[in-house]
Amino acid sequence: MKKFIPITIFGISMGFLEAAVVVYLRQIYYPTGFSFPLNPYIDKNILFIELIREVSTIIMLICIGIIAAKDFIKKFCYFLFVFGVWDIFYYIGLKFFLNWPESLLTWDVLFLIPVVWVGPVVAPVICSLTMIFIAMVVIYIDERYKILLKGKFVDWLLVILGSFLIYIAFTFDFTKLIIEKGFIKKFFMLADDVQFAKVVGSYVPQKFMWWLFIIGEFLILFAFFKVMRENMIIKNKKNIILSIKHLPLFF
């Protein structure tokens, strides 16, 4: 559990670093303060660099998980943990630097890959808290009870499905915009499309798909607690069997 200390410090530092970069970008493209609709006239080279930055950030977080443990499950958990810390402190950094967001219900742009992710700030924060909780519980159970939680195929399926629903909730607005306005055929050239820029420049998201987000969160947590319960039951049964085997025999 001591590994969480340097990993937490790393996540906090990366969160503030990310916030600093966004401060610079907003000063350039949103000098009066960030809000929707988005600025559709961001330089194509800057947009490309921003995409590279997002990918690089995720790779750095993955590397932390790889370095921190040997087992795949624990590697994944450390990645989830540092991702959650990074994301939460990114918003804390923005609040410190810019006094933004105004509230947890303020809308933000989360990612740009493969389409724009948007949603109220509280939604990614909930995701981050979920990742931190799951990661810490898995590591704690492994170190305290020597049980490395491992799920069945159906459990992983539930997690993947839940994650996909959350992904849809975040990307629904802009995916729908691209399809309904007929830009799907120009998907890989949208950065150069003048008409698409005009559409984005007048589009303001109105309603987040909370019901889809909540179902996704429920499926992930349901699968997690199911796996935890099943693994603990198996461990208890093994302990009982071992105890019986070591009982003295009286004749």
Amino acid type, 8? T
Q: Classify the C-alpha dihedral 80-81-87-90 as positive or negative.
A: negative
230 burial level (CB within 10 Å; 0-12, 13-18, 19+): middle
Spatial CA neighbour of 203 closest among 185, 184, 177: 177
Q: What per-residue confidence (pLDDT) applies to 242?
A: 42
Three-class SS state of 248: coil
Read off the pLDDT of residues 66-113 as tens digits, 9 standing for 90 and up. 999 988 999 999 999 999 999 999 999 999 999 999 999 999 999 988
Q: What per-residue confidence (pLDDT) applies to 94?
A: 97
Read off the pLDDT of residues 219-243 as tens digits, 9 standing for 90 and up. 999 999 999 988 887 666 555 444 4
CA–CA separation, 223 and 157 (whole Å)? 9
Spatial CA neighbour of 1 closest among 130, 149, 142, 150: 142
Alpha-helical (H) ranges within the chain are 4-29, 44-68, 72-98, 122-145, 153-180, 194-200, 210-245
Average pLDDT of 142-170? Answer: 92
pLDDT at 166 over 70: yes
Q: What per-residue confidence (pLDDT) applies to 238?
A: 55
Spatial CA neighbour of 224 closest among 153, 152, 134: 134
Average pLDDT score over the chain: 89
Read off the pLDDT of residues 180-213 as tens digits, 9 standing for 90 and up. 888 888 777 777 778 888 888 888 988 999 999 9
pLDDT band at 11; cut points 50, 70, 90: very high
- Nearest 5°: phi and psi at 113? -110, 130
Spatial CA neighbour of 95 closest among 63, 125, 68, 118: 125
Average pLDDT of 165-171? Answer: 97
Chain centroid, CA 60 distance in Å: 14
Q: What per-residue confidence (pLDDT) applies to 114?
A: 87
CA–CA separation, 228 and 233 (whole Å)? 9
- Cβ count within 10 A of residue 228: 17
CA–CA separation, 67 and 81 (whole Å)? 14
